[in-house]
Every structure is written in structure tokens, then in C-alpha cells.
A and B are shown apart, each in its own frame.
Chain A
């Protein structure tokens, strides 16, 4: 480690888990994305202001009805192997992504493109996908419905182009190691310090074929996979690492004063879902109780979010809406979550009143509720522990039974509605509120609590369909109304907006963090 060139020191970057794949159609985990997103690129790339700026595209023209996108590629685009990068590479890649045989977990992000959903579910052929190459540098895209955030989607890996020649050559092996992949991004892999599919030390190098190579400031960036966060922090202090994530409460608290301590706000919200389906709760009483708005409101008011964050989730911030802060902007440039903020406050007195009122309505004097959380995720367990005590203290007659299960079990139970209260988490895919607010429309499969609010449904529908979908100011209003409906009905209980505390060498300049999509954009990053 610590290799140096004569004039410039390489950034020593660490990630906590192995890279799983470089195949941009099928990679699923954040850290594979963080590597792939720096060696590959799409039509757009999110810039420092959070806008979807043009990347491989020279221009993207949108028709008045918002349904047709005409894309012109930059001139003379090339892959790292010298192949020309053309419109066909997009047509090929997008079809590969929606092909059910490919088995891409992120294929659903292509749902905005006309025909995609039917192809994904095997109902129609690949030819019906709404993309057509007009020439080597131009293609048109037809959408299923107007999608104001489509330019953000275009920056996602499933939308990246692929060099068919190379994919055909390696078949299923494409992207399983760095020598079985071809690159079009700011960086690329070489045979020296390559990624073999399993190794934990590898490097990326500035790509000489990249169209914007003058903006790439590092010649080489070294990656290390360090699964033990304590080791990462120690290597940072020894000067052997320039970037490492802090993943445990203890480590975060111990490093708040360390030079370079930085908190990256994620587009992730932790929230409690209440089982309002009328079935599968732990008891008939629990079932009745969670259908009662006073009871739910009492639970929401008894949640001391600031204290949860302090005790269990250092770095995170108390939630004030479901859509997290720092993810997307309104048409006037304001942060959406700030604009749509609700009064999720801590008020134990009012909570007690409503609790007593609710119990009386139900003819109960005491109540047992279970709270399920993922025991294999440390912050989740800590949050659940805190809430159990806080609820029992604040709400007389309440017993909270903690149910700590593996993450996959929690997911299963939530989806099948087998819970009273479950601590869930959601991360955004793109920088627009619908990536969060789509969850709770009636009958949506992520609406684990199975509640139904007409106000919410109407607001969401108005925001995402014509005519209002084409007017950004109205979209903002409708989304805000949806947030208000969630709050008024106490349908869910947003706890916190997650953050990634990290240690980052203060000499690193130009590293862009994004709360959705590519988290760490190293394109212009270098050590001063």
C-alpha cells in the first residue's frame, strides 16, 4: 500500500465489502456500484449541485408531452479497448437489462421505458422496448408515461451502455473480473493490480479514451476492501488510508474529534410500520389497537427521535418527513424534505392522553405489542432497544416485546404482514420524492402495514400523471400533500434519516458525494 507516483500521491480508498460484480446490468450492492460507477458512465452523471448533467449525451431533447426523448451522443466516444461507443450499445444494453433471462435485480428501474414492464414479466418480446437507434450517434426513447426524473434514471448502471462484442465474448462471465469487462468511464482497470473477482487490493487508472479526460485529476486510485471498520480507522490514522467508513456506534463516537471526520447524509429513512391490515398481528387486541388512530398517534408522539439518534444512531438526524433531507430539490431549488416538513415531535403528555383515550375506546387497560427489527444490523437493534424502553415508560399499560430476527426474516415478515410494529428502512434510487412516496399507495407491495389513505393516493396520483406531472411546482405540492397525509393519519412512524460517518483525508479535493446513485464520485478527486 501507499504507492506513490513521482508528483502525486494516489488516493487510498477503502470499501467494507468485496466487489461482487462489474456487470452494470446485474450488479446490486452499493460498493460494487461505487467502483463500477467510476469506471463506467451513462448518458448523464449527477454533478456537484445534484443535477443530472449531460455525460455521454451531447444533448437530450424532451418532447412537449414528456414521452419522447431524443438523445444525441457526444462525438468520437470510445471504449477502453478502442471500440467505438455508439447508439447501438445503448439499445443492446437496455434490451439485455429487461430480458427476463438476464435476471437483473434492478430491471424494475427500466419500468419508465415504454414496453419494459411487459418484457420483464415475459409478456412481450424484446423488440417492443421503447428505444430505437436512428444513427450511430442518435437514438430515441419512448416512455410509458411522463417521468420528470428520467434524466436521473439515465445515470443509473442499468442504463449504461455495453459493448456487445465484449459481452458476447465472455457471456455469463462478463464483469466477473476486471479483465472480462470493458470501460467507458473516467477510470479503467488494467492488468496491473486488477480485480480478480475475489481480491481485496486493486487499482483503477485514468482512462485515456475518456471524452472528458482533462477533468480527471487522479492518475491512479487504490482500493482496499477492509471488512473490519476498526482496522480501517487505524490505517487511516497511520496515514495508510485516505477514506474509510465508520460503521459502529462506538467507532463513530471515538472518532468525532479525529481530523477528517465527515458525515455523508444518505437518502435512507428508518421508519416503523404499523400493521393495519386487520390480520396476522400478535393478538386480536394488538390488531384492533393498531387500527386505531389515537393509539398510533400516541406511539408516534412517544417517540423521542432526537434521543434515539443520540443513543443509537450517531451521525443520523431525526426524521421530519418520510422523504429524507438532502436527496432532492423542489422546482424553486429548496430541499424537498425541508419544504415538505411535518410536525413529527416528541410530546409525552399528549401521547399519554391519546394512549388512554385509545385504550378506552377499545375497552382495554393494558396492551402487548411486538416490535420486530433486524438483529444482524447493529443500528437497527440499538434503535429497537431504545424504543422498547421509551414506549414502556411513556405509555402506561404497554408491554413491548422485542423480536430481533435476521434481516431476511424481517423482510419476509414485513412483506407477509406478520408483525405488529416493524422497524423498516428504505433507500432512494434516484433524486426525486417518488422513490420514497411510491411505497404507500393502496395495495402497493411495499405498503407492509397495508393501510389505505384516499388523500395520499390522490396526491400521489396527481403528482405522477398528466396533466400535473409536467408542471414541477404542482408536483412538489402534491408530494407535500402526500407527506401531510402520512403524518395526519399516523400511518407510519419515521425515525431518522441515516448517515454514513467516515474519515476522509482533508487533503482530498473534488470527491463528490451523492445520497442516491453513485455515492462516491471520484472523477475529479485527487490529493492536494
Chain B
């Protein structure tokens, strides 16, 4: 197991190195410079490029960047002039993570409950409704759901504040909007897993032992269906925690997703690089942790 983890960590570093290199050179293909003022003449641009070291040959810039990276220096932003990228990420990532975690918990818990109810009354009315909701959740993008929630719960009913970040009530609408997709995925997953396990031999045995229906469903069928869900939640969590670009824009949330997207057309190199690295690391770590957890929970899996 330890050997396996070390091997995976090695691969992780190699992948990260490739991502850094590819991102660095791909950024150069984009037109323009990070300097946003269209009034700068070519001469003035050259002076600015020199001031920020952007006039050096590309390979030099690359090695300088990688060198700094190893010392933990990710540079300063061009748009948010002179703000250290690390500080920007440190301020924004927790916001996205809080939102993502809330959405993940809400989505998984609701999804598991809905999946369970659907499986128990397969093809019933509730199953139909939940089935419809999960198809909706999977096929309708979060920004559409976000906009609808904003319109009905925010504008029309005036139940929650429609923008900003700071109080818990401000997190409710974006959380609901973001939780739709995980809820839908989990509902479908738990439903099919449970239908399968409810018809398996050990359930039959449990019933034969005279256990109550509640115990059969909760202790045996549901618990067994939740184990494979780990593999599902891992990558989903990584996606949710790194911020939803559109939801952050719609609800004016100071998260990392909106900042990442804004940095690209602005050619804010240091922000693009650092955010890409953070995303990559989070995603890879989650996948790794998921694999390890699966092995621990289910002894049949051998690493």
C-alpha cells in the first residue's frame, strides 16, 4: 500500500510538471499582453514588458517561473496590480470551498434519500418525480438553475439576498443551484445500486432472519450502496470545491472560479498558472484519496 501511494505521488508530480509546462507555453499563443490599456504605444509596451521581465526569451521566463515556483513564489497579479497570487488564492479558495462543500453535502444527502425512496418504490409516483428531477439536474446546467432560483426565490419571493457573500443566508441560493447536479447523479446512482442489492441473496437472508424492513433497507441495502459512491464523490468534490465560474458570477461571490476565468482573456499569466496548479493538485489529490479510501472501506479492492 505504501509503495502504491509513493508511486502515485510520483506520477502526480510528473503530471503536475507536464501541466505547468503545457499551460505556460499555451498561454503565449494568446494574443496581446497583460497590460490592459489600449492606449499604450508599442514603445511604451516594450518598456512595460521590460519592467515585468516579459521581454526575456520564453525559455528563460519558463525556467525563472519554475524556479520561483519551487521556492513557493507564484508571482504577483497584473490585473490586481502587485497583489501576490498566493494571497489572492488564499482569500478566494476558501470561499469556493465553503460553497462547494455545502453543495456537496446537500446534494449527496438529498440524493441518497431520494435514491433510497425511489428504489424502495420502484416505478412508483415518487420514483417518477425523482427520476424527472434527476434528469433535469443532470441535463440543465447550473447557471440556468441558478438564474431560475435567483428569479423565483430572490427577485419574486424575496426570500434570500440576491448577491454578495458574508452571511449564511447569502450562501443558500448558490448552494441550492450548485447542489442540483450532485443530487441528480447521486439519486440515480443510489437508486440503481439499491435496486440491485435489494434483490441480492444477503437481503433475502436478512429478511429471512426476520429483520424489520427499515433495518434491511438502512443497515444492509443502503450502506452497501454507499461504498461505491465514494468513487463518484471524489472527482465530483474536486469539481465543486474549485469553484463554479458561472454561479460565482451570477451571485457576485468572491470565489476562485470567477477570478480564474477573468484572468484568461486578461492574460494575467501568474494568476492563470497558479490557479491551474491549484486545480490540478486538488483534482489529483482527491482522486488519490478516493482510491485509497475505497481500498480501506472495501477489502476486496487490492492496490
Residue ranges of A at the interface with B (Cβ–Cβ < 8 Å): 1, 18, 20-21, 23, 26-29, 100-103, 105-108, 120-122, 172-176, 196-201, 224-228, 231, 234-235, 238, 376, 406-409, 411-412, 415, 429, 445-446
Contact = CB atoms under 8 A, between A and B. Distances in A.
Given A231-B252, A234-B162, A196 B52 contact: no
Nearest to A198: B91
Contacts of A122: 47, 50
29 contacts: A1-B161, A21-B80, A21-B81, A23-B82, A26-B81, A28-B35, A28-B81, A103-B52, A105-B48, A122-B47, A122-B50, A173-B84, A176-B83, A197-B91, A198-B80, A198-B259, A200-B164, A200-B165, A200-B254, A201-B164, A224-B163, A225-B252, A228-B252, A234-B154, A235-B162, A235-B163, A407-B265, A445-B42, A446-B41
Nearest to B95: A198
Contact of B254 (A107, A198, A412): A198
Given A175-B82, A224-B252, A226-B163, 7 more contacts: A103-B48, A121-B47, A198-B259, A200-B164, A407-B265, A408-B265, A411-B32
Interface in B262-299: 265, 267
Given A1-B164, A176-B80, A197-B88, A108 B249 contact: no
Contacts of A175: 81-82
B242 to A, nearest CB: 16
B36 A105 contact: yes
B40 interface: yes
A164 B76 CA distance: 22
B81 A20 contact: yes
Contacts of A108: 39-41, 44
Contact of A29 (B36, B164, B265): B36
Nearest to B77: A20
Interface string B62-98: 0000000000000010011111100110011000000
A78 to B, nearest CB: 26
A198 B88 contact: yes
B239 to A, nearest CB: 22
B213 interface: no
Given A105-B48, A198-B91, A228-B249, A411 B83 contact: no
For the complex of A and B, 6 pairs with smallest distance between CB atoms: A408-B32, A103-B51, A21-B81, A445-B41, A409-B31, A412-B31
B36 A28 contact: yes
B60 interface: no
B32 A224 contact: no
B258 interface: yes
B265 A23 contact: no
A106 B37 CA distance: 8
Interface residues of B, number: 48
B38 interface: yes
Contact of B31 (A1, A406, A429): A406
Contacts of B51: 100-103
B17 interface: no
Given A198-B92, A235-B162, A28 B37 contact: yes
Contacts of A27: 81
Given A172-B82, A198-B91, A224 B164 contact: yes
A201 B252 CA distance: 10
* Main SS at interface, chain A: loop
A122 B39 CA distance: 20
* Main SS at interface, chain B: loop
Nearest to A121: B47
A376 B52 CA distance: 27
B82 to A, nearest CB: 5
B30 interface: yes
Given A197-B80, A200-B164, A100 B252 contact: no
A411 B165 CA distance: 35
A95 to B, nearest CB: 15
A234 B41 CA distance: 41
Nearest to B33: A408
Contacts of A198: 80, 88, 91-92, 254, 259
B40 to A, nearest CB: 7
Contacts of A411: 31-32, 38
B36 A200 contact: no
Most B-side CB within 10 Å, residue of A20, A29, A122, A429: A20
Most A-side CB within 10 Å, residue of B81, B254, B258: B81
B267 A408 contact: yes
B252 A227 contact: yes
A172 B83 CA distance: 8
A227 B258 contact: yes
A408 B258 CA distance: 19
B25 interface: no
Contacts of B88: 197-198
Most A-side CB within 10 Å, residue of B88, B92, B155, B249: B155
Contact of B50 (A100, A174, A176, A234): A100
B190 interface: no
A446 B44 CA distance: 12
B81 A23 contact: yes
B82 A21 contact: yes
A130 to B, nearest CB: 19
A146 to B, nearest CB: 22
A197 B87 contact: yes
A33 to B, nearest CB: 12
Interface in B15-64: 30-32, 35-44, 47-48, 50-52
A231 B162 contact: yes
A107 B39 CA distance: 11
A411 B42 CA distance: 12
B169 to A, nearest CB: 12
A108 B81 CA distance: 18
B163 to A, nearest CB: 5
B254 A176 contact: no
B288 to A, nearest CB: 30
A412 B265 CA distance: 13
A267 B44 CA distance: 23
Given A108-B40, A407-B265, A446-B39, A173 B82 contact: yes
A197 B165 CA distance: 15
B149 to A, nearest CB: 12
Given A105-B37, A122-B47, A198-B91, A20 B80 contact: yes
A216 B180 CA distance: 49
A200 B252 contact: yes
A227 B249 contact: yes
B162 A105 contact: no
B160 to A, nearest CB: 12
Contacts of B155: 234
Contacts of A226: 163, 252
B76 A172 contact: yes
Contact of A228 (B41, B80, B250): B250
